[in-house]
């Protein structure tokens, strides 16, 4: 049955005109009265020097490429630049279990055989390999996110950027999906010491399961994830029915999508959902995870998004004018990751960029076009019809209607135990309030591997002309 044509006017209406009246009132304005958005950029010079393995799709070197594009476009002149310190053990232990952290600190490729009995327990192996400097790497990207969160708390910036962060799959006691330490959870815990309500938004193609699980039972954090979902695609969670439990019931929002979604549909659905979320939850601060594996032509992704559409979501969140922490995430065609995050940096600092990439040390990675916006759309059949997307929208907005406005928070220090703020009478809520839709998703022990998980050649990641180039 052919897909129903999309009404372009409906999907591409100007977001600014529809949002200003709703979200620019004095009660919703947390930012200072200055006109120019203050942006702080956090980058550790060494964070791109780690290597998961020759055949592994995660390439930290993409962070070095991104930073070089940012600098050569001159975007550093529009921001405050910070070399963040590394996260301490105590900071990482705010969320992660001590035995797991101790394992990450001690294990190396040279002594790995001495710890093999712990590999299954901590879920390390093919997806999450042991490599040189693994804990040091975690300290670097997590420290940047924590420092960025503190910068927002201190009122020193309106927007903070850490492209090395966004590792959203890591759990309290195990690695998952190329992620070892969940910097997002650590950053949000820091923000909860000051901000009454924090909104987490995830546009990675994979479900933000680690963050959702961490805050599944609290109303102080709302998690919203846009992702591919069919029950098999990693991590296998993110169904519409995962809505939170206990105090957090209805505060987990999932937007499951099918293969091949295009720019117009994605931006329309993102705007519709986020307008509803912002009207209802009224967050004091936002954390935006910008995983670039939702772009078209990604090694592991199956969407058709262009860099401009991905950036449009960043622009929509920026227009709400709420303090925001922006982090990276997935993205496995490294040249497109660097292009995307550079473009989104330009959006955050209100700077237009030339489509011709500037001369830089890594220009060879971007051949043959050497453009900021390559053609990435239309390579996967779009299985999202208007009926399905409308149904998803209606389900999400219906869930939001169950909330009685933004929760009123009595401010107090958040204890090290992530669930500590649930202690007291709040935990006595009747169990009968829970139904079959409220079962907390459990981490899968056997990782499900999609067809696009691994690939034949690493050429793309080293600037060679690969299969993706040939279809562009």
Residue 227's beta-bridge partner residues? Answer: 256
Residues with catalytic annotation?
169
pLDDT of residue 379: 85
With 0-12 / 13-18 / 19 or more C-beta atoms within 10 angstroms meaning exposed / middle / buried, residue 12 is: middle
The tens-digit pLDDT sequence of the chain (472 residues) is: 445 444 544 444 444 444 444 444 433 444 444 458 999 999 999 999 999 999 999 999 999 999 999 999 999 999 999 999 999 999 999 999 999 999 999 999 999 999 999 999 999 999 999 999 999 999 999 999 999 999 999 999 999 999 999 999 999 999 999 999 999 999 999 999 999 999 999 999 999 999 999 999 999 999 999 999 998 999 999 999 999 999 999 999 999 999 999 999 999 999 999 999 999 999 999 999 999 999 999 999 999 999 999 999 999 999 999 999 999 999 999 999 999 999 999 999 999 999 999 999 999 999 999 999 999 988 899 999 999 999 999 999 999 999 977 777 655 445 445 555 444 334 434 443 444 344 444 443 344 444 334 433 444 443 433 333 333 3
Q: How many CB atoms lie within 10 A of CB 125?
A: 12
> Is 326 within 8 Å of 343 (Cβ atoms)?
no
For residue 418, give the 3-state DSSP assignment: coil
The pair of structure tokens assigned to 212 is: 């959702």
74: left (phi over 0), alpha (psi -120 to 50) or beta: left
CA 38/CA 349 separation, integer angstroms: 8
For residues 292 and 298, the answer to whether their CB atoms sit within 8 Å is yes
Feature table: binding site: 127, 177, 204, 206, 293, 332
Q: Which CATH number fits domain 8-471: 3.90.550.10, 3.40.109.10, 3.10.20.30, 3.40.800.20?
A: 3.40.800.20
Strands 285-289 and 80-82, by their bridges, are unpaired
Q: What is the pTM of this model?
A: 0.84
The DSSP string of 177-222 is: TTBSS-HHHHHHHHHTTT-S-EEEEE-SSS--HHHHHHTTT-SSEE
Q: What is the DSSP letter of 356?
A: B
Which residues carry a binding-site annotation for substrate? 127, 177, 332
pLDDT of 204: 98
Show binding-site residues for a divalent metal cation.
Answer: 204, 206, 293
């Amino acid at each position: 049955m052919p897909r129903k044509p999309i009404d372009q006017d409906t999907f591409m209406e100007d977001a600014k005109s529809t949002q200003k009246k709703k979200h620019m009132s004095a009660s919703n304005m947390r930012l200072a009265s200055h006109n120019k958005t203050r942006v702080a950029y956090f980058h550790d010079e060494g964070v791109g020097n780690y290597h998961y393995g020759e055949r592994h799709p995660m390439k930290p070197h993409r962070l070095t490429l991104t930073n070089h594009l940012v600098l050569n476009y001159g975007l550093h002149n529009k921001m405050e630049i910070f070399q963040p310190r590394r996260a301490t053990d105590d900071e990482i232990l705010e969320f992660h279990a001590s035995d797991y952290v101790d394992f990450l600190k001690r294990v190396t490729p040279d002594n790995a055989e001495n710890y093999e009995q712990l590999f299954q327990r901590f879920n390390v192996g093919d997806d999450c390999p042991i490599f040189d400097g693994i804990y040091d790497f975690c300290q670097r990207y997590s420290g940047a996110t924590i420092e960025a969160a503190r910068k927002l708390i201190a009122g020193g910036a309106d927007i903070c950027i850490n492209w090395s962060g966004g590792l959203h799959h890591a759990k309290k006691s195990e690695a998952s999906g190329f992620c070892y330490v969940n910097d997002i959870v650590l950053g949000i815990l820091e923000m909860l010491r000051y901000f009454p309500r924090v909104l987490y938004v995830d546009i990675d193609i994979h479900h933000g399961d680690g963050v959702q699980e961490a805050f599944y039972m609290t109303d102080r954090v709302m998690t919203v994830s846009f992702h591919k979902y069919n029950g098999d695609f990693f991590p296998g969670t993110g169904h519409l029915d995962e809505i939170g439990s206990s105090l957090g019931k209805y505060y987990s929002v999932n937007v499951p999508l099918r293969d091949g979604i295009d720019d117009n549909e994605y931006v329309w659905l993102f705007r519709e959902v986020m307008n509803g979320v912002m009207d209802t939850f009224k967050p004091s601060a936002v954390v935006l995870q910008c995983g670039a594996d939702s772009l078209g032509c990604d090694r592991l992704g199956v969407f058709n998004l262009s860099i401009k559409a991905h950036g449009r979501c960043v622009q929509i969140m920026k227009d709400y004018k709420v303090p925001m922490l922006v982090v990276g995430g997935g993205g496995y065609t490294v040249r497109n990751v660097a292009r995307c995050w550079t473009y989104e940096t330009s959006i955050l600092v209100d700077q237009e960029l030339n489509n011709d990439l500037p001369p830089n040390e890594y220009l060879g990675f971007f051949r043959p076009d050497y453009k900021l916006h390559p053609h990435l759309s239309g390579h996967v059949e779009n299985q999202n019809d208007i009926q399905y997307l409308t149904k998803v929208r209606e389900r999400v907005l219906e869930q939001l209607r169950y909330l009685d406005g933004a929760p009123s928070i009595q401010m107090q220090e958040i204890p090290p135990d992530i669930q500590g703020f649930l202690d007291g009478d709040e935990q006595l809520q009747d169990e009968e309030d829970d139904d079959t839709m409220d079962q907390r998703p459990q981490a899968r022990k056997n990782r499900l591997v999609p067809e696009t998980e691994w690939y034949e050649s690493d050429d793309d990641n080293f600037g060679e002309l690969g299969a993706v180039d040939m279809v562009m």
